[in-house]
Amino acid sequence: MTFDLQTLSDRAEILELSSRYARAIDDKDWDLLRNVFTEDAYADFGLGSPFKGIEAILHASRSIMENLDHTQHFLGNHEIDVEGDRASGRHRLIGGAYLRDAVGEPSLSELGEYVDDYVRTENGWRISHLEFTVSWCEGNMGILGAGISALNAT
């Protein structure tokens, strides 16, 4: 498989975008997270209902992540297909979450896959559609409970 220079550049930008997404989630940097999605983005984090629009995505992310002491998202096995100003990608996740004051074990490990669509905007590539599917979990799923409760409270 060979790529022209523009496709290589686009793929590099999308990889960087995916890394910024993971950093924004782990650092709870909501301004950064706002800048990885389009305003009308769609995200399904596997929490039941999907979220439509950047404000709903930010609300869901804050609700879950702010109740945890630490998370780590490692993305790999990237597959990116670029077609003009649109692209699609698949990324495998190895992730973990930690809650110091958990009832029971304080950690959760998760493996899964992101399937994303991207669009080139005047500000660079942005995620327009994100779907996350969990392949495997181990540990205390209960550490997500407070975040899911906060999410469902609104």
User: What is the pLDDT, as a whole number, of residue 118?
Assistant: 98
* Mean pLDDT on 82-90: 97
What gap in Å lies between CA 43 and CA 103, rounded to an integer?
29
Question: Among the CATH numbers 1.10.357.10, 3.90.1150.10, 1.20.970.10, 3.10.450.50, which is that of 5-152?
Answer: 3.10.450.50
User: What is the pLDDT, as a whole number, of residue 2?
Assistant: 76
- Which is more confident, 36 or 46? 36
What gap in Å lies between CA 41 and CA 129, rounded to an integer?
6
**153 has a pLDDT exceeding 80:** no
**133 has a pLDDT exceeding 90:** yes
Confidence bin at 154 (pLDDT 50/70/90): low
User: What is the pLDDT, as a whole number, of residue 12?
Assistant: 97
Q: Are 100 and 106 in contact (CB under 8 A)?
A: yes
* Mean pLDDT on 51-79: 97
Backbone angles phi, psi at 5, to 5 degrees: -60, -40
Where exactly are the structural domains of the chain? 5-152
**151 has a pLDDT exceeding 90:** no
User: What is the pLDDT, as a whole number, of residue 47?
Assistant: 84
Residues contacting residue 151 through CB under 8 Å, at least 6 positions apart: 47, 59, 60, 63, 64
User: What is the pLDDT, as a whole number, of residue 78?
Assistant: 97
Residues contacting residue 85 through CB under 8 Å, at least 6 positions apart: 119, 120
CA angle 120, 122, 123 (to 5 degrees): 85
User: What is the pLDDT, as a whole number, of residue 152?
Assistant: 82
Q: Are 90 and 112 in contact (CB under 8 A)?
A: no
Residue found under tokens 């409760």:
149
